[in-house]
Structure 1
Amino acid sequence: MSSRDPDGIRHPGSTRAVPLPRWTTRRWVAAGTAVALVLLIALVLCGSWIFARSTAINNRLVDRSSPALIASVRYESALVDQETGIRGFGMTARPEFLAPYRTGLARQEAAERQLRKLGAGNTQTLRDLTEVRRLADRWRSRIAGPIATSETPALVARERTEEAKVLFDSLRTAMSTQQRHLEDQRVAARADLLDARALRNWTFAAIALVILTLAGSVVVALRRGVTNHLDRLSDDVRTVAAGDFTHPVTGSGPADLRLLASDIEAMRARLAAELLHREAASAELAAQAEELSRSNAELEQFAYVASHDLQEPLRKVASFCQLLERRYSDQLDDRARQYIDFAVDGANRMQGLISDLLAFSRVGRLLADQSTVDLEDVYERTLYALSESIEESGAVITHDPLPAVEGDRTQLGMLFQNLVANAVKFRDPRRSPNIHISARRTDGEWEFAVEDNGIGIAPEFAERVFVVFQRLHTREQYSGNGIGLALCKKIVEYHGGTISLDPDHSPGARLVFTLPKSS
């Protein structure tokens, strides 16, 4: 259970929780991101407005002002063509001079339609166009129409020469005024476009400056609000990691960083306490190891005494009992001889038991001669040592090619000798023993198996057979002290392997053990 202090820090051993008074890193980042997004959205909207305004002004200049001025020039050109055609027809009365007049009239109508379309919504343009059209209609009704329809166009032209000049000059003046106004509008639109471009450039420059400032502010804020505090926390953690477990881990900055520092500090305090406990335990273990070493030395001394001093009285008991039987055999009855046999057998079995126990206790305790052991040679020595029992039982022993492994030659010899001897001893009286030793290479080790066709071992005894003194048969059935497979297990485990009984093998028994590969 934990709680937080007034600064928002949790403490072990309490269920009270005090709210954090300061913002966490997540809240700071969220708030900063929101402000930055609002600012960026405002800048985008401003830039979009400036861009739209610049586009609108440019479109007005390209799509209205310039085409309107061009249409006005075409309008004037069409009127000049009409005036030229009427004047030529009035001087010569030749009908071909009316062709420019009629063409100019059509061009005038087309130019006027374009001007009205381009000037839609522009009062000044429409007013100028109306005035030009009024003067053009007056000139046409007073001069062009009468001359074009008269049978004596020269006479009408001479009579109205002055009036024609006055009317067309006023029309020219109106056209000039119209074009001047259109030009002024075009110049104003161009000035607006330049102003809009300048404003756009300044605005986008300001946006870029604001973005750079914002990015710099974010970097500074992250450094001052987060990374500096993380650096201080990292320094404390590295100091502790370097081995100074008494160095306190302090927190600063946002609440979650201080909370993290508090958790790390609690972990440091616990690790420091565990370390002190481990050091005390290590000291105690060292003392126990020293005591165990002394005890092992005493056991070695006891083993020496057992192997010499204890066996010597047993040998004397057996030998003197046998001597007693030979010297006084004619005075002893059958019961006395039986008692003497019991005494000799007990002494011999005690000697064998002591020898087996000494061999069992020495595995892993004495300094072993580790070397590369050729198991083929171990196998041959095993057959030689067991040749008498093998020949007596008629056992047939086969084997796969055996490798070389790292280990103690003497102990591996005891391993093979015990396994083969067991396979020969626990044979089925109904058939001759058939024993096979297999070897196969697995990932990182060798797997061996000694299988026979003897009486076998029931699966429920698969673990019991490897326990010392655990016998499955009486001594009258099979001799031995119940140490053989326990000794095999100890030897295999000392060499870094495992040994087990294969419960699926039938008939007989199959013992599987592993040994590491030779390096």
Structure 2
Amino acid sequence: MTGVESQARASGRSPWTTRRWLRVGVAVSLLILVLLGSTGAWVLARTESLSTDLTDVRSPALTTAIRLESAMLNQETGIRGYGLTGTPEFRAPYDRGLVEQKASMKELAGLLDGDRAGLEGLKAVREAVGKWQERIARPIAAARPGSPSPLATERAEEGKTSFDEVRTALNDQQKMLRADRAGARKDLVDTMAVRNWVFGAIGVVILGLIAVVFEGLRRGINRPLERLGSDARTIAGGDFDHPITPTGPADLRHLSGEIDSMRRRLVRELDFKEQARVRLDAQAADLRRSNAELEQFAYVASHDLQEPLRKVSSFTQLLQRRYGGQLDDRADQYIDFAVDGANRMQVLINDLLDFSRVGRLHNDQQEVDLDKVFERTLSALSVSIEESEAVVTHDGLPTLVADPTQMGMLWQNLIANAVKFRRPGVAPRVRVTAVREDELWRFTVTDNGIGIPEEFTEKIFVIFQRLHTKDAYPGSGIGLAMCKKIVEFHGGTIAVDPGYREGARITFTLAPEPPEHADALTPALPEPAPPADPDGSL
């Protein structure tokens, strides 16, 4: 006995579960249906057998017997005419009758196979026919044509008597076949009536079973489930203190109890999670405020760094011009280091500012012809392209809704990298393609440069990450990170094709229209003005 049944017996309720009720109900229903089906199958088989016997044996046998009688009448007419006149044309009906007689008797023998009375009737017909043909038909038919046969006159009375016997045998046979057909038809009608009663009873029993099953399901399953669903909807509507009343079979009552237990646990969990949510909302608000302050600080700090850096750069360049060659070699070297460091720091800060402006200052969404933006990019990079003898080709580029400044920064960084990271002694070859893929445009920038090792395909999109020293290839390490930020801002993705080994291939996607950004853009801060040259020469 299961725990559910034990609890049901203890509470005085039925211990039967839904499964047990269904099993017993299905077993009883199947047993009744099998009995009814067996009876119906027997009645159908009986009806089919009688119908087949009537249509395939009794009716064809009677029809063949009538055809046999017609054949014998043709023989008798032909022989009588031939015997009285000797005209050969009178033998034609006799000859046709012989053929039809043989065929009809053979068919009757096949149809009556197994019917003892029918075969005895056929035997009587065959004997009467044989006697008449032997004494009358064949001798007269053997007479020479052209003159009446004396035998026809001599045996006229015998021929009439003999053919009357044939008629009598044929009539007896047909009477018996008609009686057999009538009996078979009556059996068929009676059996069909029984069949109709049986199938009517089957229909009534099936309807009764359906009604019983429907009512049992309604009372035992549907009504408890409806009540359980009503209680669940009440709880889902916010009344978590509403209890669930167990009803129905033992397993449904157990399920109701489990759900009510779950409701009580949920009430406790909801109380705890509500307190946690309040704390989480407060922490999220603090985090958003902290991120906004940090972003504002980074932007303002980048601006504020420009002022002292310009002074350092200006005065170190002034020292280099005025005192270069007047001090010793070490002093000139130190001044060169200071100028180079200040310039690189200024480039780095400018790149960092450009990176922070993506989505802040540069967010003027409009239709952008990428072909025109690409041509402007090639014009801006014309010096480095000519110096490296690079060849840049591209497919027709689409028109998108995007920020034109960001698109220019994207192409400039990608083309500049393709030209910069070239193999020694090899002129760069850069190819740009654009293909529509479902709702996005996929672009590729392929070059024949030094390539990107597979282990660094993700690292190169991280800000300030470099794969080479600044002496080998100058740069701030922000370019591809900025490309990634621009592409993602416009609803796309960017990656390195790891399967390309003849150089580097960058693939990225752009949406025809950028996605809506939920966060409000931070207003731009004013750019600081460049300081005056202390010597007036810068």
Counterpart residue identity of residue 460, structure 2? V
Q: What is the DSSP-based 3-state SS (H/G/I as helix, E as strand, rest coil) of the residue aligned with 2:435? A: strand
Unaligned runs of 5+ residues in structure 2 are 42-194, 515-538
Aligned twin of 2:418: 423
Q: What is the DSSP-based 3-state SS (H/G/I as helix, E as strand, rest coil) of the residue aligned with 2:363? A: coil
In structure 1, distance between residues paired with 2:366 and 2:324: 54
Counterpart residue identity of residue 504, structure 1? G
Counterpart residue identity of residue 308, structure 2? P
Counterpart residue identity of residue 303, structure 1? A
Q: Which moves more between the two structures, 462-471 or 260-269? A: 260-269
Max radius of gyration: which structure? 1
- Work out whether 1:338 is the aligned partner of 2:333: yes
Deviation at 1:398, TM superposition (A): 0.8
Q: Which moves more between the two structures, 434-443 or 379-388? A: 379-388
Asked if structure 1 preserves the Cα contact closer than 8 Å seen for 2:484 and 2:493, the reply is yes
Q: Which moves more between the two structures, 485-494 or 315-324? A: 485-494
Asked if structure 1 preserves the Cα contact closer than 8 Å seen for 2:325 and 2:332, the reply is no
In structure 2, relative to structure 1, the CA distance for the partners of 1:7 and 1:313 (3 Å cut) is same
In structure 2, relative to structure 1, the CA distance for the partners of 1:350 and 1:285 (3 Å cut) is farther
Aligned twin of 1:149: none
Aligned twin of 1:291: 286
In structure 2, relative to structure 1, the CA distance for the partners of 1:347 and 1:244 (3 Å cut) is farther
Q: What is the DSSP-based 3-state SS (H/G/I as helix, E as strand, rest coil) of the residue aligned with 1:391? A: helix
Aligned twin of 2:389: 394
In structure 2, distance between residues paired with 1:316 and 1:269: 70
In structure 2, distance between residues paired with 1:273 and 1:365: 45
In structure 2, distance between residues paired with 1:240 and 1:397: 67
Asked if structure 2 preserves the Cα contact closer than 8 Å seen for 1:8 and 1:259, the reply is no
Aligned residues: 364
Aligned twin of 2:7: 7
In structure 2, distance between residues paired with 1:500 and 1:367: 23
1:115-514 paired onto structure 2 within 5 Å: 216-265=211-260, 268=263, 279-280=274-275, 282-329=277-324, 331-364=326-359, 368-514=363-509
Deviation at 1:376, TM superposition (A): 1.5
Counterpart residue identity of residue 297, structure 2? F
In structure 2, distance between residues paired with 1:450 and 1:202: 85
In structure 2, distance between residues paired with 1:40 and 1:433: 86
Q: What is the DSSP-based 3-state SS (H/G/I as helix, E as strand, rest coil) of the residue aligned with 2:7? A: coil
Asked if structure 2 preserves the Cα contact closer than 8 Å seen for 1:306 and 1:354, the reply is no
In structure 2, relative to structure 1, the CA distance for the partners of 1:469 and 1:33 (3 Å cut) is closer
Q: What is the DSSP-based 3-state SS (H/G/I as helix, E as strand, rest coil) of the residue aligned with 1:338? A: helix
TM-score, with length taken from structure 2: 0.58
In structure 1, distance between residues paired with 2:415 and 2:40: 95
In structure 2, distance between residues paired with 1:480 and 1:211: 87
Report % sequence identity. Answer: 61
Counterpart residue identity of residue 31, structure 1? V
In structure 1, distance between residues paired with 2:400 and 2:299: 31
Deviation at 1:252, TM superposition (A): 1.1
Q: What is the DSSP-based 3-state SS (H/G/I as helix, E as strand, rest coil) of the residue aligned with 2:368? A: strand
Query: CA deviation digits over 1:421-461, x for unaligned, max 9?
Result: 10111122312111111111112211111111112222222
Q: What is the DSSP-based 3-state SS (H/G/I as helix, E as strand, rest coil) of the residue aligned with 2:464? A: coil
Q: What is the DSSP-based 3-state SS (H/G/I as helix, E as strand, rest coil) of the residue aligned with 1:468? A: coil
Deviation at 1:359, TM superposition (A): 2.8
Query: CA deviation digits over 1:345-380, x for unaligned, max 9?
Result: 111211222222233344456783333332122212
In structure 2, distance between residues paired with 1:42 and 1:423: 86
Structure 2 residue corresponding to 1:22, chosen from 3, 7, 15: 15
In structure 2, distance between residues paired with 1:345 and 1:331: 20
Deviation at 1:269, TM superposition (A): 5.2
In structure 2, distance between residues paired with 1:400 and 1:229: 69
Asked if structure 2 preserves the Cα contact closer than 8 Å seen for 1:24 and 1:256, the reply is yes
In structure 1, distance between residues paired with 2:226 and 2:472: 79
In structure 2, distance between residues paired with 1:201 and 1:404: 79
After superposition, the CA RMSD in angstroms is 4.2
In structure 2, relative to structure 1, the CA distance for the partners of 1:209 and 1:379 (3 Å cut) is closer
In structure 1, distance between residues paired with 2:247 and 2:344: 79
In structure 2, distance between residues paired with 1:503 and 1:33: 63
Query: CA deviation digits over 1:200-226, x for unaligned, max 9?
Result: 999999998877666544443332222
TM-score, with length taken from structure 1: 0.60
Query: CA deviation digits over 1:218-264, x for unaligned, max 9?
Result: 44333222221111012123334445555444431101222333444
Query: CA deviation digits over 1:105-145, x for unaligned, max 9?
Result: xxxxxxxxxxxxxxxxxxxxxxxxxxxxxxxxxxxxxxxxx
Counterpart residue identity of residue 345, structure 1? D
Asked if structure 2 preserves the Cα contact closer than 8 Å seen for 1:372 and 1:518, the reply is no
Query: CA deviation digits over 1:467-515, x for unaligned, max 9?
Result: 2222121111111121211222222223232211122323221111111
Q: What is the DSSP-based 3-state SS (H/G/I as helix, E as strand, rest coil) of the residue aligned with 1:7? A: helix
In structure 1, distance between residues paired with 2:217 and 2:323: 109
Query: CA deviation digits over 1:301-354, x for unaligned, max 9?
Result: 323432332111011011112223334446422221221111111112112222
In structure 1, distance between residues paired with 2:437 and 2:200: 73
Q: Which moves more between the two structures, 490-499 or 327-336? A: 327-336
In structure 1, distance between residues paired with 2:403 and 2:215: 69
Q: Which moves more between the two structures, 509-518 or 300-309? A: 300-309
In structure 1, distance between residues paired with 2:399 and 2:16: 70
In structure 2, relative to structure 1, the CA distance for the partners of 1:289 and 1:375 (3 Å cut) is farther
In structure 2, distance between residues paired with 1:268 and 1:367: 52
In structure 1, distance between residues paired with 2:300 and 2:513: 37
In structure 2, distance between residues paired with 1:475 and 1:212: 91
Asked if structure 2 preserves the Cα contact closer than 8 Å seen for 1:7 and 1:21, the reply is no
Deviation at 1:274, TM superposition (A): 5.8
Query: CA deviation digits over 1:170-229, x for unaligned, max 9?
Result: xxxxxxxxxxxxxxxxxxxxxxxxxxxxxx999999998877666544443332222211
Deviation at 1:285, TM superposition (A): 4.2
Aligned twin of 1:102: none
In structure 2, relative to structure 1, the CA distance for the partners of 1:35 and 1:356 (3 Å cut) is same
In structure 1, distance between residues paired with 2:453 and 2:290: 39
Q: What is the DSSP-based 3-state SS (H/G/I as helix, E as strand, rest coil) of the residue aligned with 1:253? A: coil
Unaligned runs of 5+ residues in structure 1 are 10-17, 49-199
Q: What is the DSSP-based 3-state SS (H/G/I as helix, E as strand, rest coil) of the residue aligned with 1:421? A: helix
In structure 1, distance between residues paired with 2:477 and 2:38: 95
Counterpart residue identity of residue 344, structure 1? V
